[in-house]
Amino acid sequence: MRIPSTIVAAALALALGTAAASAQTAPAGTPGKPPAGNGGKEAEAPAEGYFNAFACEKIDRPLRVAVELLDNTEDNMRLRDVFVERLSKSGARVEPGAALILSLDIETVREGRIRKPSDLVDVYVGMGGPDPNADPLNRQPDSGSTSIDDSEARVRMNIWSNRRDSVIGGPRRKAEGDVVDQLHVTININSRTDGTCLWRGDAIHNLDGGEPRTIGAALMRYLVAQIGKPASRQPIRLDN
């Protein structure tokens, strides 16, 4: 079936115009005022990070450990020194030959925004193109004819869907991926003799363009206080 180029252009204009209108959001509330239905109280600031931990076995006190840094970058070694200093002040003893090994894994994760394709409309030009009824999320590259006839075109548009972008339902998937700017810290305490796990803790904290050294130092102090305790998605709020 041949579709005139004017129809293709009209279909694209309709799809793009509808998607733009659907993507608009309601105006934000007045800055500085708490949201409605909160009794006029200021909402608590959202957590900038979360902490998870589990205890495998009981840890004897005072804690005696040898601290090992898994990635000896300059910034990580500075954060390790902050951690060891705080650990010593808490009453623990840091000894190179201790029976327990505390491994410290510190990583800064920074990834840019990633554009995600929309599945609102698909246009194919030429013979041998993909099946217009195929699921666009599982579509395989076309291995048909390499010749293209500009007079042949097929348009596939989602009118309604509760899973994908559609003309009526609007966008269902984010147009862009989130920016990742985080500090990840993992602490493992294991037996030197047989590697038995005694405790493990994982912390992820947003940097939001901040300096990893400053935020990391505050996070090290926070983590020392959590050693030996279990936690499940515990909010982290640091006092820098």
Domains of the chain: 49-113+177-236 (3.30.160.670)
Query: Exposed/middle/buried for 121, CB within 10 Å: 0-12, 13-18, 19+?
Result: buried
User: Taking the CA atoms of the chain, what radius of gyration do you get in angstroms?
Assistant: 27
Nearest to 124 by CA among 97, 165, 156: 156
Q: Do the Cβ atoms of 167 and 16 come closer than 8 Å?
A: no
Q: Do the Cβ atoms of 22 and 175 come closer than 8 Å?
A: no
Cα(234)–Cα(236) distance, rounded to whole angstroms? 6
Q: How does pLDDT run across 166-220, given as a tens digit for each residue?
A: 766 666 665 455 678 999 999 999 999 999 999 999 999 999 888 899 999 999 9
pTM of the predicted protein model: 0.58
Cα(144)–Cα(125) distance, rounded to whole angstroms? 13
Nearest to 185 by CA among 98, 90, 31, 82: 82
Q: How does pLDDT run across 8-21, given as a tens digit for each residue?
A: 454 545 444 544 44
Give Cα separations from 121 to 4, 66, 70, 124 (angstroms): 17, 59, 48, 10
Per-residue confidence (pLDDT) for residue 38, from 0 to 100: 52
Work out the pLDDT band at 110, boundaries 50, 70, 90.
Answer: confident
Per-residue confidence (pLDDT) for residue 136, from 0 to 100: 47
Q: How does pLDDT run across 41-53, given as a tens digit for each residue?
A: 555 667 899 999 9
Residue the block writes with tokens 């217009």: 132
Q: How far apart are the first and last CA of the chain?
A: 67
Q: How does pLDDT run across 34-83, given as a tens digit for each residue?
A: 444 455 555 566 789 999 999 999 999 999 999 999 999 999 999 999 99
Give Cα separations from 162 to 23, 109, 119, 171 (angstroms): 15, 33, 12, 9
- For 128, what's the count of Cα atoms within 13 Å in the CB-facing half-sphere? 10
Q: What is the DSSP secondary structure assignment for residue 98, as one 8-state letter?
A: -
Share of the chain above pLDDT 90, in %: 47
Give Cα separations from 109 to 17, 113, 156, 167, 205 (angstroms): 36, 13, 39, 37, 10
* The pLDDT of residue 148 is above 80: no
Reduced to 3 states (helix: H, G, I; strand: E, B; else coil), residue 105 is strand
Work out the pLDDT band at 141, boundaries 50, 70, 90.
Answer: very low
Of residues 134 and 226, which shows the higher confidence score? 226
